[in-house]
Amino acid sequence: MKAAWFEKFGAASDTIIIGEQPKPIAGDGQVLVKLKTTGVNPSDVKKRIGAFPNLLDNGHVIPHSDGAGIIEAVGKGVPESRIGERVWVYQAQYARLLGTAAEYVAIDASRAATLPSNTSFEIGACLGIPAMTAHRVVSSDGAVDGQTVLVTGGAGRVGYYAIQWAKLAGAKVIATASNPIDEATCIQAGADLVVNHREANWGDKAQEVNDGEKVDRVIDVDFGFNLPEVLKCIRTSGVIATYGNTQIKEPTLPFLQMMFMDLTIRMTIVYAMPELAKQQAIDDIYKALAEGHLQHRVTHVLPFQQMAKSHALIEGNGLRGCVVVDIDA
């Protein structure tokens, strides 16, 4: 089968190889998916540049966790009725070497979720990490109906979906953005208000635009860096649900201040989500897709031969939407 892989760490242009690899076979409890698209996420780039030094100890890696395609075969224990089903795939290259940057992937049947007929394979490749992470950070600590949710970095891949999940759940949403284009993107996604997180004291501004009231929950893209401003605008007994920490690798927490605020800190990564939470996300994603309630931003769809470019796009600063590679192109 056609595939892209890497055998060493480094720049995409120096490491990604395109060629032929053996076609996998669906094992017990697995499905064999003929992939149409593969999605590229920041975690894929981090793995390729060496964030996990032992990753290549057992051989080459076909990268990418997310993708979409059609089930071609099933293994023992999986109903044959699933053959021909349109699916989106997630967690394909977690704790295993063979991901979705290939014509085929054999994966646990539970990791291949039904893709509604009204949803393209390009969108399907964007659902695993971005949409599931956003669902988790919004829903993990109780209902947000009637609450005010602050989404930092609302124009980002996860933030864009988080705004939508919060609105669908009945919340008032304040987002942060750094420029007029991103502000418009947040409003398009459903944000009621937007503040500029490049301005000094933006935490005070978030409370000000909320009629002086503090927010109930914060969905945060960069925990350590944003924490001082977040603490200005979150209420006592509020929740900070974070899925990223980029600029300050080992943040120092003002423990006493946070303790006396009775705050809950929720740290999220899609791979470690409880299975029940994953299934709830899948169910809600299917419903929202089928009913046309989710917006998506696919900024680039590249041909397979440009796999290295897809990684370079994710590595570059400023890209907000999803990058997808068309397997057949």
pTM to 2 decimals? 0.95
- Per CATH, the homologous superfamily of domain 2-126+296-326 is Medium-chain alcohol dehydrogenases, catalytic domain (3.90.180.10)
Ranges of the chain with pLDDT below 70: 317
Indicate the domain borders of the chain. 2-126+296-326, 131-271
What is the pLDDT at residue 320? 82
Q: What angle do CA 138, 144, 150 make, to 5 degrees?
A: 60
Which residue bears the tokens 């124009």? 155
Residue 88 has what DSSP assignment? E
Choices 3.30.1540.20, 1.10.150.120, 1.20.120.1770, 3.40.50.720: CATH for 131-271: 3.40.50.720
Non-local (6+) Cβ contacts of 171 within 8 A are 138, 144, 145, 146, 147, 148, 149, 217
What is the pLDDT at residue 317? 67
